[in-house]
Structure 1
Amino acid sequence: MIERVEVIKGATSIYGNGSAGGIINYITRKNDPQAKTVGGLTTLRGTLNPYNNKETEGYRFSQTLYGRHDKFSYTASGAVDYTGLQRDGDGVPLGQTDGLSNSKSYNAFLKLGYDIDPSSSLSFVYNFFNSLQHARYLSQNGKYGQTATIGVPGTDPGENTGTRYNHNAMLTYSKNQLFGNTSLNASVYYNTFRSMNRYVERANSWYGPGQSQINSDKKGFRADLNTPFQFGNVLGGVTYGIDLLNDVTYQDLTDGRVFVPKMDMFNYAPFAQLTLTFVDHLIFKGGARYEDATVKIKDFETLPTGPGTEGSIAVQGGTIPYRGVTFNAGLRYNKYAFFNPFVSFSQGFTINELGRIVRNATDSDLKNIQTDPIVTNNYEAGFASQISIFNLSAAYFISTSKLGVNLTADERGYFFPERAPERIHGVEVALDARLSSTLSVGGTYSYVEGKLKNEDGTRTYLSGARIMPPKATGYVNYAPINALDLQLSWVHTGNRDRFEPSANGAYLGNQGPVNAVDILNFNAGYKVNKQWSVGLGVANLLNEDYYSVYSQFAATDANYVKGEGATLSLNLNYRF
């Protein structure tokens, strides 16, 4: 039900806690104001590995209905999706560590709209998602750097992994010309989900076999107003409002033990974002946001690290306050299409990794545990250009924080958060060219690197959990006729080798070296007529046999899993 995905680079005052580097908006389909009473889209899809197809067959069926009658509009959709056995380029079943082999998902979506009058409306959205794995294979651990972890026939002793349920509901009231030209959007929302992790015989940070489940319930209110204005030749607008959020999250084991205690957070945040356009082409954007969050945690005991209660610590709970003001400002000059430069500064605020911090507590008093928020300072400069058939954009950025959170592993494999100053920088470039009415090409390149500052003043590279290798993409689009569209795309992830192995020759977690990976993908779409269309896709077209980036930098035996081999998909769509 996704209409489009919107990426906002850099923090913004309009959204807050957790958006330290930017925002990704998954925007659902809008109800069509011109729709007939009943319309729809039916989609059938089949998938398999074309080279080693045994047990790899998968399918998807989805049905969407939409329409409008007088002041009412609706969109309703249901889908079922099954993923068959995943195999690598040699046809060997993939290791089941966090894999999706033999998993089935269900999705239901409903959007109702009512036009109260020409300037105001109500909208209700509900989405349900369920995805559980019915594994027919177990992981047989390999040896990191030598042999892959593979899947062998067997039954997992734990409960089915995946998302038991994820319910999202939101009611929105919109009003244009609330006063003057001011518009209003006000929403109440609720989200609840349960997600089961994989059963493990031995965990790194707690004793004994077990299986943990993440439980989260969120409810909130958001109101934002937008007021346009003009002073002389200066056009402007300000968006302002407030966010309220209550988030209750915890993680427990299926045997009743508490892994992460219940964290009850209430967060309120007023915000304002200003836009000014000077001399027609100079645009200024700036804003501020005040975050006030309080997290309540009751007394709890950490999980033991040995038999009985060995290693368990009784922690006195309490209330953790988080407060701060963040700012952002930026300038863009867009008079000339061949050169649109911009500069920006933004601050982000997040309380990321609190659960990991408290579950690994080594102090009996919560007040002594370092839980300070992460405030990032993001600086960016770049430009966009349109020259003849070419579109070019480039940006360089620096992101710093006085107290970041980096996950560091010790030689036992225990992960713990390391609070230290950080500096990250990077560059990204995108270039597209329309060579003719039927042919276009393009590509991207991104590079990012970062270090943290140790107490002795030295600097250490951030691990693979934080920093990805250089990445490049490329594509060729060819549409010889209006009804046919062909695309060949390339994805490249480069090398990153920043850490030395320990004395025993092993790498610490998330510090493994990454070797380059190159993957080609192919897509084709053909519109038979107004009602019928077909699509053909092949992911990993050349059936490359490779280790994923994550399996390389994770540096653990269990996660040393190869990437998926070629996957063929055939889609059939019918509109009515």
Structure 2
Amino acid sequence: MKAKVIGLLCLFAAFTLAISPLKSIAQNTGTAAISGLVTDVDGQPLPNATISISGNKNSSSNNEGRFLLKNLPSGLHRFSVSLVGYQTLVKEVVLAGDSTLDVSFVLQPGNALNEVIVTAGRKAESLKDVPSSVTILNARDVKEQLNVNPSVSAILGNTVPGLGTSNNKATNAGQTLRGRQVLVLIDGIPQSTPLMNGSRDIRTLDPSVIERIEVIKGATSIYGNGSAGGIINFITKKPSGDKTIGGTTSVGLSGNLAHPSNTLGYRFSQTFTGTLNKFSYVVNGTYNYTGVQRDAKGNVNAQPDGLGENALYNAFLKLAYKPNEHSEIVASYNLFRSVQNTDYVNVTGKYGVTPSIGQKGIDPGEAAGTPYNHNALISYHHNALPLSSSLDVSAYYNGFVSMNRYVAQGTAWFGPGQTKIQSFKKGVRLTLNTPWKAGSMGNGELTYGLDLLNDRTNQVLTDGRVYIPDMNMLNVAPYAQMKFDILTNFILKAGIRYENARVKVKDFNTIARGPNGQGSIPVSGGEIPYQATTYNAGLRYNKYEIFNPFISFSQGFAINELGRILRTATSSTLESIATDPIITNNYEVGFSSRFGILNLTAAYFISTSKLGANLVDVGGFLVPQREPERIKGYEITADLNLSTKWMLGGSYAYVEGRAEQANGNKVYMNGLRIAPPKATAYLSYRPVSALDLKLFWVYTGSRDRFDVRANGLFANSEGEVKEVSLFNLSAAYRFSQKWSAGLGVENLLNNSYYPVVSQYRAIDAEYVRGNGATMSLNLSYNF
């Protein structure tokens, strides 16, 4: 039966692909056109605004706020213009003949509740129709945070409720979403390595190529392996405007304000974009070098795998071809590289007493970081198929290698060593959408398709030893998602996904923990099957802006930390190793509200799983515990539009989690999974149209859940966390439509503090202070 379903989906896709060109030719596209300018109330152009016709996205404004739509039929059209941070504007326009009409759209400040998103249900839909919590950062938000810190991990940690704060390293260890691992995507391409979590998936591209970031919280059955905590989807820049060539040149400098010696960093980014008839393109190259990092007291921060003396390269290319108004072919490629070449070594301090600091020296290992992360994608979209259906099909490849820090003596292997994780993914994603009508009951749509994924991941030492053997996974996952707009204002969503995955592992030996192969265990390989059916259902009532409530249930699927299970195997056969998948049940209730100048959202969630993969210190290294887990928490956000010049807002997120041991005891989960409470706030002031000032506050609370062990020390990741309060500043000034400057200061008050990860890890070598006051200055030219 399953094979028949898959076969029918593929047959329908092939049929629609074959007939779509003929249907397109038969369509009467029209000859009218509309051009326009999107500005704010002060007449300043607004780039990256979404221009929609009858709810379908058709274009985005370029860097000068302009857009152009061609080949439109004559008659009445309903245009909608939206941008995060502004109220959505709707205007009806009449087009006649082959004329081109020029219009202007002026957006009022305020956070609209109906921003368009694209990942929650695999189809663009209005935010007020989604029965779950969603956070969206647009290009403007990303640029504001880039002035403060160019690391994507820091940008998200400082802004997204429920996501842990950044650890100021090249990894995002401990940066969970609502206490669970998150699936990171770039334009739908999975970056996460759930077979062996390398904790580098968030920081896999430079913010200069990001158009928007969508964070979907809670387990989801719409996407596959690794989405137990939710989704972070980076949507890369698209060509905009009607210029043959345009773009942006940006240069920047950074350094420590209080202790500037050797801290100078620099940044260069060049973007070209344009349209040539039916072709369009975006090309970007970015280089970012971070100088020596110092804490508030002037000590060098030389933590292993840190961001001091780090060189980042990012190359991005996107090509688009629109043969007609109903179809588009897009090909893109992104290369990300970030490595640390430092002439300082870490001098180990004492946890809770003195910090680890850097001194001049040479690290004997290879440069730690991400030597490369390749993403290649080609996709085809068509929105005029039989039964008014639309089709999206894409093929992708991801190649990723991470280099971990060098250790003079490993706890899990004999002698010195340095490991690297290698992951290679290729896959196909097929998405079809068919609308339907139910008379007076309302309208609906069905989104359905098939995901194919091959993921090959391992972890080896640079000297040739194998730490984790090659895990070769093939996953075939058909899915369907229904959306029913009942009586206009009740939005019902329900879906199902079938996971059919197999992981092949060849015969291997666990790594030796002593000389002459001592402690090594031979394990017979084989094939591990994973089969699961996951469901989701949600309801939202969106009639009144003053109270827009939702309730939802969704399941997630993950083969998480299989590599850690294999590398610590104590049995000689795969059949006797506990490798069951993690099925997560997520329950959530919440609402959004707009009351005059106030926008408010709130959500309460519970996340459970019969089997988890909580990492616990056993014998000096982290081992996944397959135990029942229960996580719960809540999030609140508020934005207040005081005037056209003043805005303020903030958020608060709380999460707690426990695992149930075999003896029935319920124990708290450690800092790798559960972050302390986090609060954020901002105050925005715009005294004149050319100047934007924004003050940010990021607060992490205390967390003390564990006692010291028999040796008088905290176990790995069970340390006490004390509160941290930081202020950041971002300022932007527009000299003209072409020239602008940005200024950012991280840790504005030069506070001496220990990041959350330095505290809960409870490891002497990782007890490192955070950076002191660090300034960035950027100059941009748009052409």
Q: For the superposition of Structure 1 and Structure 2, which TM-score range results when normalised by the shorter chain?
A: over 0.9
**Equivalent pair of 1:172/1:188 in contact (CA under 8 Å):** yes
**1:505, CA displacement in angstroms?**
1.2
Q: How does 1:303-452 map to 2 (within 5 A)?
A: 303-410=511-618, 412-452=619-659
For 1:95 and 1:77, locate their aligned partners in 2 and report how far apart those are by CA, in whole Å: 31
Q: 1:80 aligns with which of 287, 300, 320?
A: 287
Query: Which letter does structure 1 place at the counterpart of 2:357?
Result: I
**Equivalent pair of 1:424/1:448 in contact (CA under 8 Å):** yes
For 1:306 and 1:547, locate their aligned partners in 2 and report how far apart those are by CA, in whole Å: 36
User: Equivalent residue for 1:284?
Assistant: 492
Secondary structure at the aligned position of 1:558 is classed as helix
User: Equivalent residue for 2:377?
Assistant: 170
Query: Which letter does structure 1 place at the counterpart of 2:533?
Result: V
Q: How does 1:15-26 map to 2 (within 5 A)?
A: 15-26=223-234
**Equivalent pair of 1:469/1:496 in contact (CA under 8 Å):** yes
- How many residue pairs match? The answer is 574
User: Equivalent residue for 2:686?
Assistant: 479
For 2:403 and 2:217, locate their aligned partners in 1 and report how far apart those are by CA, in whole Å: 32
**Equivalent pair of 2:219/2:585 in contact (CA under 8 Å):** no
For 2:671 and 2:242, locate their aligned partners in 1 and report how far apart those are by CA, in whole Å: 48
User: Equivalent residue for 2:65?
Assistant: none
Q: 1:124 aligns with which of 325, 328, 331?
A: 331
**1:189, CA displacement in angstroms?**
0.5
For 2:423 and 2:624, locate their aligned partners in 1 and report how far apart those are by CA, in whole Å: 22
**1:206-229 Cα deviation digits (max 9, x unpaired):** 221011111111110011011111
For 1:44 and 1:179, locate their aligned partners in 2 and report how far apart those are by CA, in whole Å: 50
User: Equivalent residue for 1:36?
Assistant: 243
**1:277, CA displacement in angstroms?**
0.8
Query: Which letter does structure 2 place at the counterpart of 1:266?
Result: L
Provide structure 2 residue ranges, at least 5 long, that are not aligned to the other structure.
Answer: 1-208
Q: 2:758 aligns with which of 551, 560, 565?
A: 551
User: Equivalent residue for 1:493?
Assistant: 700
User: Equivalent residue for 2:201?
Assistant: none
For 1:44 and 1:228, locate their aligned partners in 2 and report how far apart those are by CA, in whole Å: 47
User: Equivalent residue for 1:159?
Assistant: 366
Secondary structure at the aligned position of 1:367 is classed as helix
Query: Which letter does structure 1 place at the counterpart of 2:695?
Result: L
User: Equivalent residue for 2:474?
Assistant: 266
For 2:766 and 2:757, locate their aligned partners in 1 and report how far apart those are by CA, in whole Å: 8
For 1:193 and 1:403, locate their aligned partners in 2 and report how far apart those are by CA, in whole Å: 28
Query: Which letter does structure 2 place at the counterpart of 1:478?
Result: Y
TM-score, normalised via structure 1 length: 0.99
Q: 1:198 aligns with which of 405, 413, 418?
A: 405
Q: 2:276 aligns with which of 50, 69, 80?
A: 69
**1:303-329 Cα deviation digits (max 9, x unpaired):** 111222111111111111111000000
**1:60, CA displacement in angstroms?**
0.6
**Equivalent pair of 1:484/1:527 in contact (CA under 8 Å):** yes
For 1:179 and 1:486, locate their aligned partners in 2 and report how far apart those are by CA, in whole Å: 51
**1:96-150 Cα deviation digits (max 9, x unpaired):** 2221111111111000011122211110000011112111100111111111111
Q: How does 1:138-287 map to 2 (within 5 A)?
A: 138-233=345-440, 234-287=442-495
**Equivalent pair of 2:221/2:557 in contact (CA under 8 Å):** no
Secondary structure at the aligned position of 2:765 is classed as coil
Q: Percent identity?
A: 55
For 2:593 and 2:462, locate their aligned partners in 1 and report how far apart those are by CA, in whole Å: 56
Query: Which letter does structure 2 place at the counterpart of 1:2?
Result: I
For 1:572 and 1:288, locate their aligned partners in 2 and report how far apart those are by CA, in whole Å: 49
TM-score, normalised via structure 2 length: 0.73
| Worse-superposed segment, 493-502 or 298-307 | 298-307
Provide structure 1 residue ranges, at least 5 long, that are not aligned to the other structure.
Answer: none
For 1:132 and 1:405, locate their aligned partners in 2 and report how far apart those are by CA, in whole Å: 29
For 1:509 and 1:343, locate their aligned partners in 2 and report how far apart those are by CA, in whole Å: 37
User: Equivalent residue for 2:139?
Assistant: none
User: Equivalent residue for 2:101?
Assistant: none
Higher normalized helix content (fraction of residues): 2
For 2:698 and 2:410, locate their aligned partners in 1 and report how far apart those are by CA, in whole Å: 34
For 2:213 and 2:589, locate their aligned partners in 1 and report how far apart those are by CA, in whole Å: 23
**1:95, CA displacement in angstroms?**
3.1
Q: 1:294 aligns with which of 475, 494, 502?
A: 502
For 1:477 and 1:13, locate their aligned partners in 2 and report how far apart those are by CA, in whole Å: 38
**Equivalent pair of 1:11/1:328 in contact (CA under 8 Å):** no
Secondary structure at the aligned position of 2:516 is classed as coil
**Equivalent pair of 1:107/1:129 in contact (CA under 8 Å):** yes
For 1:567 and 1:492, locate their aligned partners in 2 and report how far apart those are by CA, in whole Å: 18
**1:437, CA displacement in angstroms?**
1.3
Query: Which letter does structure 2 place at the counterpart of 1:435?
Result: L
Secondary structure at the aligned position of 1:356 is classed as helix
**1:40-63 Cα deviation digits (max 9, x unpaired):** 100001000011001110011010
**Equivalent pair of 1:247/1:265 in contact (CA under 8 Å):** yes
Q: How does 1:110-121 map to 2 (within 5 A)?
A: 110-121=317-328
**Equivalent pair of 1:35/1:66 in contact (CA under 8 Å):** no
**1:445-479 Cα deviation digits (max 9, x unpaired):** 00000101111111000011110000000110001
Q: 1:508 aligns with which of 715, 720, 742?
A: 715
For 2:346 and 2:539, locate their aligned partners in 1 and report how far apart those are by CA, in whole Å: 52
**Equivalent pair of 2:556/2:585 in contact (CA under 8 Å):** yes
Query: Which letter does structure 2 place at the counterpart of 1:341?
Result: P
Secondary structure at the aligned position of 1:553 is classed as helix
User: Equivalent residue for 2:748?
Assistant: 541
**1:196, CA displacement in angstroms?**
1.1
Secondary structure at the aligned position of 2:566 is classed as helix
Secondary structure at the aligned position of 1:308 is classed as helix
Secondary structure at the aligned position of 2:551 is classed as strand
**1:25, CA displacement in angstroms?**
0.7
**1:503, CA displacement in angstroms?**
2.0
Q: 2:665 aligns with which of 446, 458, 468?
A: 458
Query: Which letter does structure 2 place at the counterpart of 1:97?
Result: P
**1:23, CA displacement in angstroms?**
1.0
C-alpha distance 39-343 of structure 1, shift in aligned 2 (>3 A)? same
User: Equivalent residue for 2:735?
Assistant: 528
**1:229-272 Cα deviation digits (max 9, x unpaired):** 11113111111100001011111111110011000000110011
